[in-house]
C-alpha cells in the first residue's frame, strides 16, 4: 500500500498525513452543502456611488463605504447602518461630503445554498455639505456650515456567496431616489434639490456567532 523504499517511520508519517488530507478533503466536499446562517451579522463594504437627475448634473461618482448591523426577525432581517462618500463636482475643484443613515428590512432566499439572493428596502436620511480645504492642509478651518438634508427610499438587490459559516461575500446594486432641502441655490448651483443615487457595492458579511 505504501512505497517500499521508505523507512518504517516515514511510511507511518506518510500514511497518517494521507489519511488526514483525505478527511479534510471530505469535509470540504461536504461543506458545499452550506448551512443556513442565522444570528446577527455585520456587513462592511465599498462600492461606487453615482447620481442621475438634477444632482447628477452637479456631482461625479465616487467610491463610497457602508456599514450595517443586521439582525434576523423571523423570515426577514432588520438592521441599521451608515454610508459615507465624498462626491467630486463636475467642472469644479471642490467636493461635497455625504453622510447617509439607513434603516433596512431584507428578505433572503435559498438559505441553504451557497449563493443566497436577497431583496432589501431602506429608508434613508442623508446630509450633504460642501467640503472645506481640510484635505489641502489649510492653516485655518472654515466654519461655514451649509448642510442640506432629506430622506428617501432605497431598493437593493443583492446576493451573498457563502464562504464559511461565519463569512460571506456580498454583492449588491441599489437605487435611491431622494430629495433634500434647502436646494443648492445658496451655493450658486441652482434650484437643485433631488436626484437618484445609484450604487454598486462589494463587501463582506460577518456572522460573529458563527452563523448560529
Partner 1 sequence: MDVTNRSRVVLAVCALVGMLAVTAIPTVAQEGVDLEGASADVVRLPSLFARYADSPAPTLKTDAALTYALAARSARRSDPNDPIAIPSPTAVNPALLTGWSFLEGSPTARPTGLSTGASSRLTSREPVGPLTPQEEEVWTDPWGQEKNFGLAVVEAYLGNFLPWAFNELVPGRAALKISQISPRSWANNISHGWEWDDNAFQVNHFAHPFQGNIYYNAARTNGYGYWTGVLFATVGSYNWECCGETHFMSVNDWYNTAIGGAAVGEMLYRTSSMVLDNQATGTERAWRELGAFALNPVRGFTRLVSGNIARVYENPEHPSDHVPDRLENQMSFGVRQASSERSSGEVSVNEEGEAHGFFDLQMIYGSLLDLERQKPFDFFSLATQINLRQEVGLGKLQIRGNLWHKGLSRTENSVSKLILVQDFDYENNSAFEFGGQGVSMMYLKRTERSERTSFVWNAAATWMIMGGVNSEFSSFADIAGVRERLREYDFGTGFGGRVGFQFLRDGYRWIDGSYRVQHLFTLNGSNFNGRDASHVVQMFRLRGVFPLGFKSFGAGAEYELFLRDSFFEAGDFSKIEQRVPRWQIFLTWNPTRSASN
How far apart are alpha carbons 212 and 36 in whole angstroms? 8
Q: Is 193 in the site for partner 1 (CB under 8 A)?
A: no
Q: Is 181 in the site for partner 1 (CB under 8 A)?
A: no
Which among 118, 125, 114 is positioned nearest to 167, based on CA atoms? 114
State which of residues 145, 181, 186, 188 lies at the interface with partner 1 (CB under 8 A): 145
Residue 30, φ and ψ in degrees, nearest 5: -65, -30
Cell for 6? 521508505
Containing 22, the helix (H) or strand (E) segment is helix 8-30
Span 3-62, contacts to partner 1 by CB under 8 A? 8, 11-13, 15-16, 18-19, 22-23, 25-26, 29-30, 32-33, 40, 42, 46, 62
State which of residues 143, 181, 186, 188 lies at the interface with partner 1 (CB under 8 A): 143
How far apart are alpha carbons 190 and 182 in whole angstroms? 11
Span 101-130, contacts to partner 1 by CB under 8 A? 127, 129
Q: Is 69 in the site for partner 1 (CB under 8 A)?
A: yes
Cell for 157? 438587490
Which among 126, 121, 137 is positioned nearest to 172, based on CA atoms? 121
How far apart are alpha carbons 145 and 191 in whole angstroms? 19
Contact 119, 131 (CB under 8 A): no
Closer CB to partner 1, residue 16 or residue 155? 16
Closer CB to partner 1, residue 14 or residue 190? 14
In whole angstroms, the minimum distance from the beta carbon of 158 to partner 1 comes to 20
Question: Site residues (CB under 8 A) for partner 1?
Answer: 1-2, 8, 11-13, 15-16, 18-19, 22-23, 25-26, 29-30, 32-33, 40, 42, 46, 62-65, 69, 82, 84-86, 95, 97-99, 127, 129, 131-132, 134-135, 137-143, 145, 147, 208-209
Amino acid at each position: 500500500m505504501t512505497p517500499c523504499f521508505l523507512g518504517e517511520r516515514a511510511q507511518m508519517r506518510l500514511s497518517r498525513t494521507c489519511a488526514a488530507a483525505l478527511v479534510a478533503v471530505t469535509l470540504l466536499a461536504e461543506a458545499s452543502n452550506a448551512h443556513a446562517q442565522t444570528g446577527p451579522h455585520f456587513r462592511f463594504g465599498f462600492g461606487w456611488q453615482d447620481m442621475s437627475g438634477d444632482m447628477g448634473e452637479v456631482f461625479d461618482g465616487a467610491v463610497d463605504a457602508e456599514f450595517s448591523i443586521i439582525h434576523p426577525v423571523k423570515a426577514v432581517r432588520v438592521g441599521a447602518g451608515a454610508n459615507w462618500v465624498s462626491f467630486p463636482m463636475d467642472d469644479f475643484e471642490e467636493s461635497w461630503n455625504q453622510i447617509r443613515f439607513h434603516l433596512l428590512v431584507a428578505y433572503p432566499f435559498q438559505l441553504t445554498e451557497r449563493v443566497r439572493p436577497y431583496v432589501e428596502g431602506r429608508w434613508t436620511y442623508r446630509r450633504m455639505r460642501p467640503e472645506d480645504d481640510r484635505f489641502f492642509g489649510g492653516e485655518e478651518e472654515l466654519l461655514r456650515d451649509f448642510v442640506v438634508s432629506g430622506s428617501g427610499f432605497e431598493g437593493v438587490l443583492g446576493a451573498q456567496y457563502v464562504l464559511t459559516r461565519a463569512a460571506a461575500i456580498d454583492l449588491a446594486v441599489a437605487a435611491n431616489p431622494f430629495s433634500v432641502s434647502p436646494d443648492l441655490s445658496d451655493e450658486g448651483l441652482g434650484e437643485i434639490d433631488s436626484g437618484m443615487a445609484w450604487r454598486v457595492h462589494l463587501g463582506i458579511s460577518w456572522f460573529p456567532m458563527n452563523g448560529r
